[in-house]
Structure 1
Amino acid sequence: MLKTLFGKNGTESPEPVKAEIEGVVPDWLQGTLLRNGPGMFSVGDKTYNHWFDGMALIHSYTFSDGDVFYRSKFLRSDTYKKNMEANRIVVSEFGTMIYPDPCKNIFSRMFTHLCNAIPDFTDNNLINIIRYGKDYYASAEVNYINQIDPETLETVGRANYRKYIALNLATAHPHYDEQGNTYNMGTSILSFGGPKYVIFKVPANASDKQGGLALKKLKQVCSVPCRSRLYPSYFHSFGMTENYIIFVEQPFKLDLLKLSTAYFRGINWGTCLKYDKEDETLIHLINRTTGKAVSTKFYTDALVMFHHINAYEDEGHVVFDMITYKDSNLYDMFYLENMMKDTDDFIRSHKLWSPPVCQRFVLPLDVDKDTPVGSNMVKLTDTTATAVIQKDKSIYCQPDTLLVGLELPGINYKFNSQKYRYFYGSRVEWSPHPNKIGKLDIVTRKCVEWTGEECYPSEPVFVASPGAVEEDDGVILSSVVSLNPERPPFMLVLDAKSFKELARASISSSVHMDLHGLFVPREDRQ
């Protein structure tokens, strides 16, 4: 059954499709929810191995005066164009390595082999939508991003980070400050002196009237040397407070030697990731203004994490919440052969998958070197997280567990980098397939849920009500698909405070499961 949901090619709806509304969509909800995710898994007689390899399908849900309009288009990346022209998959992805056509001559094959010794990654940007300046880009975790028109979903250009900053990989989860500046970070694999993690900023005024690329005004904030020259940490996101960047250097690592020889070994790039459960996790705290790292060494036990939730400063501490795993099996679970297992098979094999754990870490900013060894430096009373001083004056951090079984977290972004109370996410209790939406109250530690029969909701997105003062005054939006072919896909609108369903906008068109996105308010909304 899951094969029809996760392995089937999606189709485009390039013209707006008006949804059928049950309930009432608030009149104040004006704007467009952009979504991104894999949508094409086979071309000709070739099929991708991994769900994260599928070619990007961009979706939009436009809310206008109580109505909802849906459209979708495949991202016209260079990868898409090459695959469609050849009528087969000719560009390698992280879970699928492609080799030269055997009909090519020996010189052509040799050139392809040499090019793949140092990978120039795909531009199939299927993970998220990023705003730089006033421009919107489909993004993944590679050096390429593709600019899209948020209204028509047309692909209008491609940018390469490497033209503006030394980066081979970059996250698809940036941060935006109150001024509209965008902060992001990535890895420079081939840096002089060894690989580095690089944090950069794109100013709010980066877009110009001539349509020039926003990346032209990119500025590096700082760089952090990798603790290992051959095994830089993999990371999917990072944290940010008013004054600091939080970067978690986890022992889920990229094997550079294996990566550079993957093509010759006949393995895909995804297998070049390895988890060293015997290693520790380092936590870097970097001043956003000076670009200098705090000298104190903060560390915790080995873990794997993909998504930060939020971070803030509180009475001389940096508090940050993220979703952690005890192993790296989650990536393997998304190979299509695993994704297409029946629900019962997933339940029987649940031991192969560790559930997501929402955890809070606390870092003390003022560390007195005369403090006795073994002292807990956390003085906050609303958490059980600890930060214990060691003999070498490093700080060993133990987290406070907030909840088990919530992923794809979202918050009221007006509270990003501030003390907050609520976050929302996809409930994943027995498999990586979400089947509920949850809202966690961090103060009471109570989670309320929305559940729909045979429903698979996407990442929940919070949109605040006009003039909202309370943190949860707004709506939650989620695109919902189903295993049941008789049940049409729909856009779900929940009251964020009560978690009651306000409306569902049913789409008379094919809609595919997506990953991430963002809401773009209508320009005339105050």
Structure 2
Amino acid sequence: MVDGNKSGLQLIQANQRSQRCSKRRQHAQPLYLYTVNGSYEPSPYQLGYPHTRGILQSSLLHVLFYHSNCSCLCQSIYTSECYSLRFLSENMATDFSKNAEESPEPCKAEVKGSIPSWLQGTLLRNGPGIFSVGDTSYDHWFDGMAIMNSFAIKDGEVTHRSRYLRSDTYKSNMASNRIVVSEMGTMAYPDPSKNFIYKAITFLNHTVPDFTDNGASNFIKYGEDYYATSETNYIRKIDPVTLETQDKVDYLKYLPVNLATSHPHYDKEGNAYNFGTSIAEKGKTKYLLFKVPNVPALKNAEVICTVPCRSMLTPSYYHSFGMTDNYFIFIEQPLKLDILRMATAYMRGVNWASCLKFCPEENTVIHLIDRKTGKEVETKYYTGAMVVYHHVNAFEDDGHVIFDVIAYSDNSLYDMFYMSKLKEINNDLYSKPSYKRFVLPIQSDKGVAVGEDLVKLKYTTASAVKEKEGKLMCQAEVLWQGLELPRINYDVNGRRHRFVYGNSVEESALTKEIAKFDTETKEMVYWSEDNCMPSEPVFVPRPNGESEDDGVVLASVINANPGQSSFILILDGRTLKEVARAYVNAGLNKDMHGFFIPHGN
């Protein structure tokens, strides 16, 4: 038992019902209390259960332990002047509402291990970092204002820095000392003290919304420039070395797109390709596939293909798309954005995310676009209702286009990241994603009988059955369950791949493991460490590597172990064993996506 005088904690009472857990307690990992003197002390009751909550009330610190197996409540009450409770059990608790602190000055990290001499470049990571301003706070984790992290790797050393994205959203919120710019999951309302004219202008701005420029999702490279991006028509140019925020760019000045993905594709010449949604432009809502040439980038952006929307007022939401040497793959899924409901959301007192509707009774349409002609192929491809955020890769083989995606059966993932639900994670509501492989036969179905499967590949169970002339119903092969944030060796993008790196989310959307999946053997290899939360992994190939997985995997890791700093992790791409790590002298936050810039690019 902890010495009360030593730790500043005095045991007052222990609920006798906790004795019911005594047999299970001996197998649990210890919990730790974070005291005012900065030290971690084991709790008197070493309970490490999935549903654990700390509540600070006045001078009493109530520690509640809920054990789902025996349905009992175990309670210990302590007096303390400490202000935070840190649980370092197998199910690490993280305060997602805590604002991240920026560290704009470069700081050398402490390297353990040996960084390969060929690894020279900078890993950029982007994600939400500020969740409250003044007395206001965001309702959804995705809405937080962006913080960017940079890990510069040179000659075996690592230098870290971080900065807030100084977007117009950031400036407006900070100047008002409250959230005044609405995000997808958080509707901002004016200060009650503002006059009628100000409130009227705010209402009109939300009826025909001017979206945020809070680019907290990813980084995009257009030409020689790098941009922080989300999915609106605004992107922010940044300096990839200093992370300083530069120009605000509006897609609408170059292309009629109100929304665009944060996951473009790049060809070997450095040209970028992306998809955007044009809402009610000239009376039509449509999806635009556009190309941004390497030079001079956005000024010469051009529309390659226009795909009509199934419904003018309810376009599909999408987060990424696929590309092969000869085709683009665009999924029009039945997760829809209701434009009319968005226009009235402010008046009705709801957020824009509530205007997203999943329609499980509708099929998903798969659009296959010929890169040479810029037109859709004649055959129409369909599959059942699903929600896809991330494409893995796509390739061609013997008259077929094969594409891999991470798919969900519903839209519950977004709802899980509301701040109120992150505080009380209920894994019973978790919809585990499936790694699915679809196969689209390219050849004509003329002369093929209705009900016949046109897929002729021997290494997959995916099917594409003819329903009627020119229409195929596709069924995917499920390769794995519980993988997200997939990354491949981008050198094989658009061609057949074997290995996929990602986060294992088999038990929860909050990952604790990095995984490497072999699509041929169906084997999975993991990296994990107690009380550590790794980011999305980014694969960096070794120059002139001998195999697809010859390289390293980079990830930033939030480290909750006592007395240890967070770090950037370097793993061997073949074995997923640790090569090196670099401890940073700053806190790291859970983020979204990363982008590696090789030295000289």
Q: Is the 8 A contact 2:559 2:567 kept in 1?
A: no
Q: Is the 8 A contact 2:119 2:154 kept in 1?
A: yes
Amino acid at match of 1:395: L
State the SS of the aligned residue for 2:106.
strand
Q: Is the 8 A contact 1:5 1:482 kept in 2?
A: no
Higher relative contact order (CA 8 A, sep 6+): 1
After TM superposition, give the deviation of residue 189 of structure 1 in Å. 0.9
State the SS of the aligned residue for 2:281.
coil
Aligned with residue 286 of structure 1, among 369, 392, 411: 369
Structure possessing the higher radius of gyration over alpha carbons: 2
Distance in 2 between residues matched to 1:276 and 1:189, nearest whole Å: 20
The corresponding residue for 1:81 is: 171
After TM superposition, give the deviation of residue 350 of structure 1 in Å. 2.1
After TM superposition, give the deviation of residue 392 of structure 1 in Å. 4.0
Q: Is the 8 A contact 1:5 1:483 kept in 2?
A: no
1:359-403 per-residue CA deviation (whole Å, 9 max, x = no partner) reads 000000002311011111111111110000113441000001111
Q: Is the 8 A contact 2:538 2:555 kept in 1?
A: yes
The corresponding residue for 1:314 is: 397
After TM superposition, give the deviation of residue 104 of structure 1 in Å. 1.9
Distance in 1 between residues matched to 2:564 and 2:95, nearest whole Å: 12
State the SS of the aligned residue for 1:215.
helix
The corresponding residue for 1:200 is: 290
Are residues 1:489 and 2:566 paired?
A: yes
Are residues 1:18 and 2:101 paired?
A: no
The corresponding residue for 2:456 is: 379
The corresponding residue for 2:84 is: none
1:29-66 per-residue CA deviation (whole Å, 9 max, x = no partner) reads 00000110000101111111110010000110000000
Amino acid at match of 2:592: L
Aligned with residue 511 of structure 1, among 588, 593, 597: 588
Amino acid at match of 1:254: L
Distance in 1 between residues matched to 2:116 and 2:367, nearest whole Å: 42
Amino acid at match of 1:498: T
Distance in 2 between residues matched to 1:358 and 1:454, nearest whole Å: 27
Aligned with residue 96 of structure 1, among 161, 165, 186: 186
Distance in 1 between residues matched to 2:97 and 2:250, nearest whole Å: 30
The corresponding residue for 1:225 is: 308
Distance in 2 between residues matched to 1:137 and 1:289, nearest whole Å: 28
Distance in 2 between residues matched to 1:8 and 1:357, nearest whole Å: 31
The corresponding residue for 1:431 is: 508
Amino acid at match of 1:39: G
Q: Is the 8 A contact 1:259 1:269 kept in 2?
A: yes
Q: Is the 8 A contact 1:373 1:391 kept in 2?
A: yes
After TM superposition, give the deviation of residue 483 of structure 1 in Å. 3.8
Q: Is the 8 A contact 2:559 2:565 kept in 1?
A: yes
Identity %: 55
In structure 1, stretches of 5+ residues that fail to align are: 207-213
Amino acid at match of 1:310: N
Map 1:416-427; keep pairs closer than 5 Å: 416-427=493-504
Q: Is the 8 A contact 2:434 2:483 kept in 1?
A: yes
Q: Is the 8 A contact 2:289 2:304 kept in 1?
A: yes
TM-score by length of 2: 0.84
The corresponding residue for 1:210 is: none
Distance in 1 between residues matched to 2:202 and 2:420, nearest whole Å: 29
Q: Is the 8 A contact 1:130 1:173 kept in 2?
A: yes
1:326-380 per-residue CA deviation (whole Å, 9 max, x = no partner) reads 0100000000111122xxxx3xx32312101100000000023110111111111
Distance in 1 between residues matched to 2:149 and 2:392, nearest whole Å: 24
Q: Is the 8 A contact 2:225 2:237 kept in 1?
A: yes
Aligned-pair Cα RMSD in Å: 1.2
Aligned with residue 412 of structure 2, among 309, 324, 329: 329
Distance in 2 between residues matched to 1:484 and 1:41, nearest whole Å: 24
Q: Is the 8 A contact 1:242 1:312 kept in 2?
A: yes
Distance in 1 between residues matched to 2:96 and 2:115, nearest whole Å: 29
State the SS of the aligned residue for 1:125.
coil
Amino acid at match of 2:226: Y
The corresponding residue for 1:450 is: 527
Q: Is the 8 A contact 2:280 2:312 kept in 1?
A: no
The corresponding residue for 2:575 is: 498
The corresponding residue for 1:355 is: 432
Aligned with residue 149 of structure 1, among 239, 254, 260: 239
Are residues 1:38 and 2:121 paired?
A: no
Aligned with residue 70 of structure 1, among 145, 160, 167: 160
After TM superposition, give the deviation of residue 100 of structure 1 in Å. 1.8
CA 1:274–1:324 in 2, change beyond 3 Å: closer, same or farther?
Answer: same
Distance in 2 between residues matched to 1:340 and 1:505, nearest whole Å: 30
Distance in 2 between residues matched to 1:5 and 1:66, nearest whole Å: 33
Amino acid at match of 1:104: K
CA 1:193–1:485 in 2, change beyond 3 Å: closer, same or farther?
Answer: farther
The corresponding residue for 1:300 is: 383
The corresponding residue for 2:281 is: 191
Are residues 1:276 and 2:353 paired?
A: no
Aligned with residue 178 of structure 1, among 252, 259, 268: 268
1:122-147 per-residue CA deviation (whole Å, 9 max, x = no partner) reads 11000000000010000000000000
Number of positions where the alignment pairs a residue of Structure 1 with one of Structure 2: 511
Are residues 1:368 and 2:458 paired?
A: no
Distance in 2 between residues matched to 1:491 and 1:450, nearest whole Å: 14
Are residues 1:242 and 2:312 paired?
A: no
Map 1:407-422; keep pairs closer than 5 Å: 407-422=484-499
After TM superposition, give the deviation of residue 4 of structure 1 in Å. 4.4
Q: Is the 8 A contact 2:378 2:470 kept in 1?
A: no
The corresponding residue for 1:49 is: 139
Distance in 1 between residues matched to 2:309 and 2:119, nearest whole Å: 44
Q: Is the 8 A contact 2:292 2:300 kept in 1?
A: yes
Q: Is the 8 A contact 2:541 2:549 kept in 1?
A: yes
After TM superposition, give the deviation of residue 229 of structure 1 in Å. 1.4
Q: Is the 8 A contact 2:525 2:576 kept in 1?
A: yes
State the SS of the aligned residue for 1:126.
coil
Q: Is the 8 A contact 2:445 2:469 kept in 1?
A: no
Amino acid at match of 2:589: H
Map 1:122-161; keep pairs closer than 5 Å: 122-161=212-251
CA 1:131–1:485 in 2, change beyond 3 Å: closer, same or farther?
Answer: farther
Amino acid at match of 2:207: A
Amino acid at match of 2:180: V
Q: Is the 8 A contact 2:446 2:469 kept in 1?
A: no
Distance in 1 between residues matched to 2:383 and 2:563, nearest whole Å: 48
After TM superposition, give the deviation of residue 462 of structure 1 in Å. 0.4
Map 1:473-484; keep pairs closer than 5 Å: 473-484=550-561
Distance in 2 between residues matched to 1:18 and 1:120, nearest whole Å: 40
Amino acid at match of 2:404: D
Q: Is the 8 A contact 1:246 1:286 kept in 2?
A: yes
Q: Is the 8 A contact 2:536 2:555 kept in 1?
A: yes
Distance in 1 between residues matched to 2:213 and 2:544, nearest whole Å: 40
